[in-house]
Amino acid sequence: MSYLKLKRYFKDEKTKKDVQFTLLLLLILTGVVIFVNIGLRVILNTDTPIVVVEGRSMEPTFYEGDLLIVKGVPPEDIENGSIIVFWAEWSNTLVVHRVIAIVNSSGELYFYTKGDNPETNPVADPYPVPAKDVKGVVIFCIPRIGLITILLSKYGLIIPVSIVLIILIIQTILSSEETPKNKKKSVKSIRKSERTTFIEFLYDITFLNKF
């Protein structure tokens, strides 16, 4: 579609309404996500209210892709056996492990932790976790719902997939244009060409890393 044709197309009132509706929908969805995130932080008293399990260290309690709801609590309320989310300085990552011992050193609490999986985590974590690094305790689990996020992140596809979704939205808007019957053949040919180009685009960003 040429620039002049595209410009002429967007002058159409129906197209303008479609674009406005799509942008409004995206804006609402973005607002909802931000509101939920901020709201959960306030309600659950932690800056990390939602965590997706990565790896097998907590099997069979949690599995990779499980989405965990985390609540911030005073360190003194954490008990042996509690499952906590904490920032592990030795690996620079968030970790979800079980508390197996608590030590009070000079008035500061330290938590010794370990994964539940005896195969991947036969021994306790290498260092105790200071109370300041604890994000909260796990209070709820939604199985496997975060698996797609892990897969997209693992293969570096979050940005490409986001681009693809935006392109699909734009193509959906553009394809809504009503075409006279005598132009169906040419339009079908154009759309076939667009689909071919789009498939090539997907192949490039997914397998050839051209973007």
57 in active site: yes
Mark whether 189 is an active-site residue. no
Nearest one of 133, 99, 135 to 114, comparing CA atoms: 99
116 is catalytic: no
From 47, 97, 133, 189, active-site residue: 97
- Whole-number Å distance between alpha carbons of 44 and 123: 31
Single out the catalytic residue among 66, 125, 175, 186: 125
Strands across the sheet with 93-105, in order?
A: 50-52, 67-71, 134-142, 83-88, 93-105, 108-114, 129-130
Which is the catalytic residue, given 12, 18, 47, 57? 57
Give dist(CA 60, CA 163) in Å, integer: 36
The CA-atom distances, in angstroms, between 54 and each of 63, 67, 86, 197 are 8, 10, 14, 35
| Residues identified as active-site | 57, 97, 125
